[in-house]
Amino acid sequence: MVVLSILLLNTLMVFREYIVLSRVQGITFILIIFICSFKTYPQTERLSVPEYVDCPRDWVSSWQGRVITYHRSNNMMSFVIDTDADTIEKVEIHFTKLDQLVKQLYFNDQPFKMTDWAIIEQSKRVIRDNILVTVWFCQNSSYLSRINWRSA
């Protein structure tokens, strides 16, 4: 009888541990489902830094996306980008001569030409709807940002 009681007690202890373990596994499963239900952002492919960006590579960052607002005057250009990373970023560049600005611009990874304004602007200083941009900027402000325009 004592042996049967000990055996029964051991069986109950094992069964109790199984129930506790099952609860832990169940809670773990529920936590995994809960965590996975949060919004995840798509991974965008990391861009390789083009040769025309003269900043040291470990100081370079970039924004890439669609231009949603744009303004260009005689001494300043600004635009807002809806980035591929689901952020909104504003870029503002001040200059004294248009040639200074053009030195920072590229179109399809080629140095920007004055005739390229007609490709990115639908009328003077109004951006076309299908224009995409990549802005390369350096953590060290002594390096100029580079702006690469492209058509969608």
Rounded to the nearest 10°, the torsion over CA 138, 51, 75, 152 is: -100
Residue 123 has what pLDDT?
Answer: 85
The pLDDT score that the predictor gives to residue 74 is 92
pLDDT tens, residue by residue, 63-93: 999 999 999 999 999 999 999 999 999 999 9
Q: Flag whether pLDDT at 20 surpasses 70.
A: no
Confidence band, pLDDT 50/70/90 cuts, at residue 8: very low
User: Nearest CA to 109 among 45, 44, 46, 51?
Assistant: 51
Cβ count near 73 (within 10 Å)? 10
The per-residue pLDDT for range 115-144, each reduced to its tens digit, is 999 999 998 789 999 899 999 999 999 999
At residue 10, the pLDDT reads 55
Does 4 have pLDDT greater than 50?
A: no
Q: How many CB atoms lie within 10 A of CB 70?
A: 19
Of 1 and 122, the one with more pLDDT:
122
136 and 149 in contact (C-beta within 8 Å)?
no
Work out the mean pLDDT of the chain and round it to a whole number. 82
The overall pTM is greater than 0.75: no
